Amino acid sequence: MQRTLITPNLDIFPAAVKPLICGADIYDSSCSPEARVYFIDKGCGYYLKCAAKGSLKIEADLTRYFNSKGLATSVLEYISLDKDWLLTEKVSGEDCTHKMYLDEPKRLCDTTAELLRLLHENDFASCPIQNRIETYTQTVIENYRAGTYDKSAFPDSFGYKSDQEAWAVAEKYMHCLKNDTLLHGDYCLPNIMLDNWKFSKFIDLGNGGVGDRHIDIFWGIWTLFFNLKTDKYTERFMDAYGRDKIESEMLKVVAACEVFG
């Protein structure tokens, strides 16, 4: 997880977190244009996320829920003013893009697949988001209508030759996606924290909730392709996860949806 030491204007922060920030080294740890993430180097460490007003409410709720299951860090503050602010405790270990993990790709593949299967075995009765598929399919439809289409980042085995080809599959089969599994929602290597190969926590849970397991499986395969620069771990990942729970046709449906991400 990259960090760049900065000297921010303290006036930009909400009053509730200023006592924590004062006297601490502050680092920019952002990895997305949609949000600014600050690492506060005090005590055991804290992360402070800032994004558009109202955009972090679901992430705060889901992080609390995953924390209740021992799967995520603690939420210390959620503040919604002109912007949203989410303060959490630092998680021990490093994310799965760390060199020590990338240097052992087979072990990394098996570990992330097995962790995903364990996540998907969790009960989700009290999850605050019970119908993630509704917002998921709405996003696909809206982005298709807006002309948003990009398959460049996806493995060739899941590629479509055109937006119309992908849309034909998405439109016909999106209704087959189920709300029957607790999802991470963005199951990528930077969002899986390990401490010397032992599971630590999941982070960045804003797209989680109850949905279709094939969404997480797709991203678990994609993140290995993207970070290891090869798709040769696709079959191994599915073997390690468990073929008994994977429908290859549903992965193709998810792929068709995701190119309208």
Tell me which fold the domain 4-89 belongs to: Phosphorylase Kinase; domain 1 (3.30.200)
216 is a catalytic site residue: no
Question: Which of 152, 150, 139 is CA-nearest to residue 225?
Answer: 152
Q: Give the count of beta carbons closer than 10 Å to the beta carbon of residue 81.
A: 10
Indicate the average pLDDT of the chain: 94
Distance between CA atoms of residues 234 and 240, nearest Å: 10
Tell me which fold the domain 94-258 belongs to: Aminoglycoside 3'-phosphotransferase; Chain: A, domain 2 (3.90.1200)
Q: What is the mean pLDDT of residues 109-133?
A: 98
List phi, psi (to 5°) of 39: -100, 125
146 in helix, strand or coil?
Answer: coil
pTM: 0.94
Query: Are the C-beta atoms of 91 and 192 separated by less than 8 Å?
Result: no
In 3-state terms the chain splits into helix, strand, coil percentages (rounded to 5) of 45, 20, 35
Active-site residue, from 61, 84, 95, 186:
186
Tell me the torsion sign for CA atoms 31, 138, 57, 129. Answer: negative
Q: Which residue has the higher pLDDT, 33 or 62?
A: 62
Query: Are the C-beta atoms of 3 and 29 separated by less than 8 Å?
Result: yes
- Sorted by sequence, the CB contacts under 8 Å of residue 153 that are 6+ apart come out as 222, 226
Number of helical (H) and strand (E) elements in the chain, helices listed first: 9, 11
Q: E-assigned strands of the chain?
A: 4-6, 25-28, 35-41, 46-52, 75-80, 83-89, 94-95, 181-183, 192-195, 198-202, 209-211
For the chain, residues classed under CATH 3.30.200.20 are 4-89
For the chain, residues classed under CATH 3.90.1200.10 are 94-258
Q: E-assigned strands of 24-146?
A: 25-28, 35-41, 46-52, 75-80, 83-89, 94-95
Q: Tens of pLDDT along 5-61?
A: 988 888 899 999 999 998 899 999 887 788 999 999 999 999 999 999 999 999 999
Distance between CA atoms of residues 36 and 50, nearest Å: 5
Residue 88 to residues 1, 7, 47, 116, Cα–Cα distance (Å): 16, 20, 5, 23
Query: Are the C-beta atoms of 124 and 205 separated by less than 8 Å?
Result: no
Q: Tens of pLDDT along 122-166?
A: 999 999 999 999 999 999 999 999 999 887 777 665 778 889 999
Distance between CA atoms of residues 153 and 7, nearest Å: 34
Per cent of the chain over pLDDT 90 is: 86
